[in-house]
A and B are shown apart, each in its own frame.
Chain A
Amino acid sequence: MAKLIAGLTTSHVPAIGAALDNGKSNEPYWKRVFDGYLPSKKWLAETKPDVAILVYNDHASAFSLEVIPTFAIGCAEEFPPADEGWGPRKVPVVKGHPDLAWHIAQSCILDEFDMTIVNKMEVDHGLTVPLSLLCGQPKEWPFPVIPLCVNVIQYPPPTGHRCYMLGKAIRKAVESFDRDLKVVIFGTGGMSHQLQGPRAGLINSDFDKRFLDKFGPHPEELIKIPHLEYVREAGSEGIEMVMWLIMRGALDDDVREVYRFYTVPASNTAVGHIILENKR
């Protein structure tokens, strides 16, 4: 049977992708960010997942205001990088895992999570920047990826509690898939940041560090944080942290923290990253 062995979370700042794509990763400003991921790249290369489920939000790339799914799962064979106004990132096409993706979709729907099934989708920096941070610049991504796209742009986004429970449904789905696969799950976005309006640039390191501290041992406290608290304390785009809770829900209650990294800033954003493993 497939096994969900570990999860990681990371910010998905577009400027990080641009820095890498434009050969700026050795500039001190960006080196500080990329260096923070070196142990994680090593961890991931050693862990060798067969598939990754990558939770992210689409930034008006695949979905516009025409259709706004709360939870959408990518079931296609592959997902090309989106043109976000600068031309598509020159990164490999993301290969999917339709068998497992469809299985998760079906299992979650029967578990009362009404997933939107997506058979054609371009993926933006929300998905490709985490892959770049963890895998560098390979010719092909080292594993297939199942995109799980969450609405955090149109109010209201799903609650933290709902995200956490979806994580549990995903775990159940993965572990009822009749093939020996090692699966990891990425929760992306955050941490504190605000991109819009006169309050842009808000960073709340105290909030972020508390969130990181509680993320492994006490997620039940984090799932109670209301949307308003994210917006007020962590900035309007800090709401993306609800997506981390999908990753957290997919792991055991009792987890081992493998690694953590936090730095301010990358462009407008506090970069946070944590790796958790199930103990068994």
Chain B
Amino acid sequence: MSNVDLEAFEDVPGTTLFNAQRSRQGYHLNMFCMSLMKAENREAFKKDERAYLAKFPMTGEQREAILKRDWNKMLQLGGNIYYTSKLGATDGLSFQALAALMTGSTPEGYAKMMLDGGRSPNGNRSKSEWKTRG
């Protein structure tokens, strides 16, 4: 039996594990984000997002998720948070601002949750707990 058992990780709710499959799927999406580490590339991207994205062989779905800034969708399509956060930085968004967007909260609401001690692991360990939550 293989010692690579990734299935169990899929039970953790609201979380996408950056495994081999997602890394392969998201390679070009993530490498696009990586390119935004250079100031001149950030400028070129801001000037014409679609034209800049055309340089990276992504799927149409990945391109749309980037243009719409659908942060959770990017993760589902193979994006990794440390890469997508570079797109966030290009938009002037901090990690906390991004987290607020991904959790469907407001920046104030999210900041308050963190000040109150963060999201509890209770009720957030397994997808089965999210189902019963409704």
Residues of B near A201 (CB, < 8 A) are 99, 103, 110, 113-114, 118-119
Nearest Cβ in chain A — how far from B94, in angstroms? 7
Residues of A near B90 (CB, < 8 A) are 85
**Assembly CA distance A231 to B108 (angstroms):** 26
**Assembly CA distance A259 to B39 (angstroms):** 41
**Closest A residue by C-beta to B19:** A155
A181 near B: Cβ within 8 Å?
A: no
A106 near B: Cβ within 8 Å?
A: no
Q: How many A-B residue pairs have CB under 8 A?
A: 146
Residues of B near A66 (CB, < 8 A) are 31
A116 near B: Cβ within 8 Å?
A: no
Nearest Cβ in chain A — how far from B123, in angstroms? 11
Residues of B in contact (CB 8 Å), total 55
Q: Is the CB of B118 within 8 A of A203?
A: yes
- Give A68-99 as 1s and 0s: 1 = Cβ < 8 Å from B's Cβ atoms: 00000000000000111111000000000000
**Assembly CA distance A110 to B41 (angstroms):** 42
**Assembly CA distance A204 to B120 (angstroms):** 6
Task: Name the segment of B1-9, B51-59, B61-69 touching the other chain.
Answer: B1-9
B47 near A: Cβ within 8 Å?
A: no
Residues of A near B115 (CB, < 8 A) are 265
Nearest Cβ in chain B — how far from A243, in angstroms? 15
B81 CB contact (under 8 Å) in A85, A156, A196, A205: A196
**Closest B residue by C-beta to A199:** B14
Q: Is the CB of A153 within 8 A of B119?
A: no
Residues of B near A227 (CB, < 8 A) are 9
Q: Is the CB of A203 within 8 A of B82?
A: no
Q: Is the CB of A85 within 8 A of B37?
A: yes
Q: Is the CB of A84 within 8 A of B89?
A: yes
**Assembly CA distance A155 to B9 (angstroms):** 11
Binding site for B on A (CB under 8 A): 14-15, 18, 59-61, 64-66, 82-87, 153-156, 192, 194-205, 207, 227-228, 231-233, 236, 264-265, 267-268, 270
Taking A202-B119, A204-B120 as given, write out 20 further A-B residue pairs in contact, using a Cβ cutoff of 8 Å, ordered by the A residue number.
A59-B85, A60-B33, A60-B83, A65-B23, A65-B30, A65-B31, A66-B31, A85-B89, A195-B95, A195-B99, A198-B14, A199-B12, A199-B14, A199-B124, A202-B121, A203-B118, A204-B121, A205-B117, A232-B125, A265-B118
